Amino acid sequence: MSKTWLITGASSGLGRLMTERLLARGDRVVATLRREGVLDALQQAHGERLLVLTLDLTDVPRIREVTHQAFERMGRIDVVVSNAGYGLFGAAEELSDEQIDHQITTNLTGSIQLIRAVLPHLRAQGGGRIVQVSSEGGQKAYPNFSLYHATKWGIEGFVESTAQDVAPLGIDFLIVEPGPTATDFATGLVHGTPMEAYEATPAGDVRRAVADGSFEIKGDAARTVDAMIAAADEPNPPLRLALGSSAYTGIKQALEERLQALEAQRAVAFSADTD
């Protein structure tokens, strides 16, 4: 049976690939993007099975307007894919106030408001699924990506809590955590103003690795999208899905280190209880 999907950030990268894959198998897609005309060829090829709407996640009233329009036009949406976002690249004090505000407004607040906007519609239709595209960076952290990580760790906490709120209503979540993947993510990075003080730090090391191409990228975009679709099609997917060997090994190491540190604090933790 065909499904209907709402996908944000569908103009490029994983969102564009997912839109193409789903249309090719006969599903219907509402694709949102910031730039008009990017999906004109797909629109001509698939007609009414593709609805393209412009959306900037920093515009909360527009999020609600687009969400209402999507459900009204399609009747039912089975899967909402919160995919839109970008990376802010720089050590914390290298970033401007405006860059920080825009990163948080887009990646975190925008994703939260999208989920809030679709929940009433999903409740009204008796359920549905929300796929939140996060990153291995929602469970671990690289130098030079502090604000990007802040948004990904933040949205994962929001989703984990909200998933408990809405589970009795027939709504579930899937958090997708790809590792570094061969998309146009790197070309879309917004850069802070480099400071000499950070050249000999891990932030400088990561900056040079990205610039000279030595930052290892193992993930295949097409295989990542195929795995995302397959998981979203499952009747009972996991809450979190790591994609790529880098994501699996990086998240596993980060969790093991945190658990080891927590276990070492057991006596101190228990000592803070009341008698």
Catalytic residue list: 134, 148, 152
222 close to 17: Cβ distance less than 8 angstroms: yes
* H helices present in the chain, as ranges: 13-24, 40-46, 60-74, 97-103, 110-124, 146-166, 202-212, 221-233, 245-264, 266-271
CA gap 109, 97 in Å, rounded: 16
**Tokens representing 203?**
């932030």
Residues sharing a CB contact under 8 Å with residue 77, sequence separation 6 or more, in sequence order: 4, 5, 6, 30, 70, 71, 118, 121, 122, 125, 128
188 close to 86: Cβ distance less than 8 angstroms: yes
CA gap 42, 47 in Å, rounded: 8
**Tokens representing 125?**
């239709």
**Tokens representing 7?**
């996908």
